[in-house]
């Protein structure tokens, strides 16, 4: 018998718990050349702002040991153009989650307002955690009170599933998670990238034009796992775990830590078919361990952690 991979995130029933992470999958067009996107549990699109953004000046990506630093700066075509591209994803019949970003709470509200009449959008992922923009972004994600105020406003702007994406660049991620939950978030996603830096020894200057960038990829996985563990101990709403997932075993670790679903970012750049491979690998794992449903895995490591 095929194991049941179904999970629930807010109002979304996902046929499996695997989705690409925002900003690493564009609007899916490039990846559609590699596989049928309808296999995905959900599709998460790039951070979307009211106006088009060119992003930061190059150099915007630097390779590091076991990861990359990026300082894209939320390049996107703006919500009106993005809406057309999002509509194209309806053909895959899998939930589309739109990552929403802005410099002020009214920016976030405006993006949602414009997307509310687009039936292809199943949920919003509120990016309060982008480390690469000068205003907004991270400033929203570090203060629990500011997070609560923003999410309260957005909660009254939509009945759709509201996912809040948390920053790891804080002292206490649990406080931010609880603030988002109390303000009406249906789910949380974590982690966004960790602020880092690269310096070119020969040129004797920072590699990134933005000086700092967000670290992602396998290097961040232990930090992400720790935060998923801590947050799922402290909230009732489901968590989408991400940070360095590049194979099914990594995904299983996040589920065991308490995540209800997982997202895969940087690994798509290395292996464009990583998402369907992780879906297949999850099924194999469940069969190998004689588990009938992926839900049996969620938080399973917690019991051992309490010994």
- Catalog residues that contact ligand FMN under the rule CB under 6 A: 21-24, 46-47, 68, 70, 72, 74, 99, 127, 130, 165, 192-193, 216-217, 220, 242-245, 264-267
- Calculate helix-pair angle for 248-257, 274-288, nearest 10 degrees: 70
Cα dist. 58→53, 64, 211 in Å? 14, 17, 11
- In the bound state with ligand FMN, the residue whose beta carbon lies nearer, of 247 and 300, is 247
- In the bound state with ligand FMN, the residue whose beta carbon lies nearer, of 94 and 129, is 129
β-pairing, 194-197 with 187-190? unpaired
User: Minimum distance between the CB of residue 83 and ligand FMN, rounded to whole angstroms?
Assistant: 16
- In the bound state with ligand FMN, the residue whose beta carbon lies nearer, of 66 and 199, is 66
| Closest of 255, 253, 250, 264 to residue 232, by C-alpha | 255
User: Minimum distance between the CB of residue 287 and ligand FMN, rounded to whole angstroms?
Assistant: 25
| C-alpha span between 163 and 102 (Å, rounded) | 15
User: Minimum distance between the CB of residue 259 and ligand FMN, rounded to whole angstroms?
Assistant: 12
- In the bound state with ligand FMN, the residue whose beta carbon lies nearer, of 3 and 86, is 86
User: Minimum distance between the CB of residue 163 and ligand FMN, rounded to whole angstroms?
Assistant: 10
Which residue's C-beta sits nearest to ligand FMN?
Answer: 23
User: Would residue 130 show up in a list of annotated catalytic residues for this protein?
Assistant: yes
User: Minimum distance between the CB of residue 249 and ligand FMN, rounded to whole angstroms?
Assistant: 14
- Give the residue carrying structure tokens 């953004």: 53
Catalytic entry in 24, 130, 247, 275:
130
| Closest of 68, 84, 173 to residue 121, by C-alpha | 84
Instruction: Report helix, strand or coil for 213.
Output: strand
Beta bridge partners of 199: 206
| Closest of 146, 39, 155, 28 to residue 97, by C-alpha | 28
- In the bound state with ligand FMN, the residue whose beta carbon lies nearer, of 110 and 221, is 221
DSSP state of 66: T
Q: Are 164 and 123 in contact (CB under 8 A)?
A: no
Residues that are catalytic: 130
């Amino acid at each position: 018998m095929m194991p049941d991979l179904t999970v629930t995130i807010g109002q979304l029933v996902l046929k499996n718990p695997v989705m690409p992470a925002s900003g690493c999958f564009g609007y899916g067009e490039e990846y559609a050349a590699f596989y049928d996107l309808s296999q995905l549990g959900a599709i998460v699109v790039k951070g979307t702002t009211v106006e088009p953004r060119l992003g930061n000046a190059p150099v915007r990506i630097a390779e590091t040991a076991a990861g990359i630093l990026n300082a894209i700066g939320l390049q996107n075509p703006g919500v009106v153009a993005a809406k057309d591209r999002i509509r194209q994803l309806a053909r895959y019949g899998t939930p589309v989650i739109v990552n929403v970003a802005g410099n002020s709470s009214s920016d976030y509200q405006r993006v949602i307002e414009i997307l509310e009449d687009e039936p292809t959008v199943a949920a919003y992922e509120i990016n309060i955690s982008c480390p690469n923009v000068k205003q907004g972004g991270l400033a929203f994600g570090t203060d629990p009170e500011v997070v609560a105020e923003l999410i309260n406003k957005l909660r009254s702007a939509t009945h759709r599933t509201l996912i809040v994406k948390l920053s790891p660049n804080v002292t206490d991620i649990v406080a931010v998670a609880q603030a988002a939950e109390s303000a009406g978030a249906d789910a949380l996603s974590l982690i966004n990238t960790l602020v880092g830096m690269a310096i070119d020894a020969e040129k004797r200057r920072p590699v990134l034009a933005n000086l700092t960038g967000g670290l992602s990829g396998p290097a961040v996985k232990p930090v992400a796992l720790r935060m998923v563990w801590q947050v799922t101990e402290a909230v009732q709403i489901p968590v989408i775990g991400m940070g360095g997932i590049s194979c099914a075993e990594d995904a299983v670790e996040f589920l065991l830590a308490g995540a209800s679903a997982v997202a895969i970012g940087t690994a798509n750049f290395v292996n464009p078919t990583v998402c369907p491979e992780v879906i297949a690998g999850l099924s194999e794992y469940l069969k190998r361990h004689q588990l009938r449903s992926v839900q049996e895995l969620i938080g399973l490591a917690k019991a051992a952690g309490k010994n």
